[in-house]
A = this chain, B = another copy of it.
């Protein structure tokens, strides 16, 4: 017995109150639903006039294909996941804005998935998230992006992903590289150009690749100009305000103070401010401070903080755009890349 057909509607428009479906478009334009499907999916196997006729009708009735129906048939959703364990709110929000810039009007949506990369089951949590939602692709944000086991798991289950990191650590087509090293080098060259020679460095935790890159970039740029940073002038902290305070206390307590401090992020620079203000050390007259991130904090502090700006929104946009471009698209010869640059404000001047 053949499947029962709904009675053919004589109306030229789909019943109001109900969104148009592929069947409405097919019936109203006099082609098969398969042809409509080809047009939805930009198949070249459609005659130009057929395509234009159908597309005009789609626009007229405001037809948009149902992502769940498409997803069910494709066995893949139209969702992009953003996986992150970074605690810096502005960084996360900027990354989201960037991703949404790329997804706007694409039919894809952004699903957020914060996680804790130190908790043991977190990779399984991401796996369930990706598999249950049949995600189209996943953006990996530092520091989660630096976890090779996470990337391996995603490759194994066959989902597309992009990794955002300070250096390349995967196939170019999966990388967005932020070149933190260059930003730190620019900070070093700037402090040297002001005439500083007794410089200190407060680094992020060495478990973060970004911290290593920023440290190396800074130290090497100084070395190239003949300045070797003594061990006592390099303090590893935790990327947090509190850890910046502790590190600054070490650097600023004795008489033998550096004339400039570069910190691995703005949070720790704020810690330096606290210690300096409390001790009556004037910024920038007695101490120049340069941070990294150019977070909102940098301009809220007084004096406003010279800092290395990262184009986080662009980074997010590129990482998402790579995920939704057709597989056969122009292959990225080199990894996508974003470069930081120094923003000079009021916390730095030549040493007195």
By a beta-carbon cutoff of 8 Å, the part of chain A in contact with chain B is 1-3, 19, 64, 66-69, 71-72, 77, 79, 89-90, 92-94, 96-97, 100, 107, 109-112, 114, 128-129, 131-134, 241, 267, 270, 273-274, 277-278, 296-297, 299-302
Contact = CB atoms under 8 A, between A and B. Distances in A.
Chain B CB count within 10 A is highest, among A3, A71, A273, for A71
B77 A96 contact: no
Which of A69, A72, A277 has the most C-beta atoms of chain B within 10 angstroms of its own C-beta? Answer: A72
Contacts of A277: 302
A69 B72 contact: yes
14 contacts: A1-B2, A19-B131, A64-B132, A89-B90, A96-B114, A109-B133, A110-B111, A112-B112, A270-B300, A273-B302, A296-B297, A297-B297, A297-B300, A300-B301
Nearest to A295: B89
Given A89-B296, A274-B302, A277-B302, 7 more contacts: A1-B1, A68-B72, A109-B129, A109-B133, A112-B112, A241-B296, A278-B302
Copies of this chain, tallied across the complex: 2
Majority secondary structure, A binding face = helix
A114 B92 contact: no
Contact of A133 (B67, B72, B89, B267): B67
Contacts of A278: 302
Nearest to A304: B274
Contacts of A19: 131
B300 A267 contact: yes
Contacts of A69: 72
Interface centre among A3, A66, A69, A109 (most CB of B within 10 A): A109
Contacts of A112: 96, 100, 110, 112
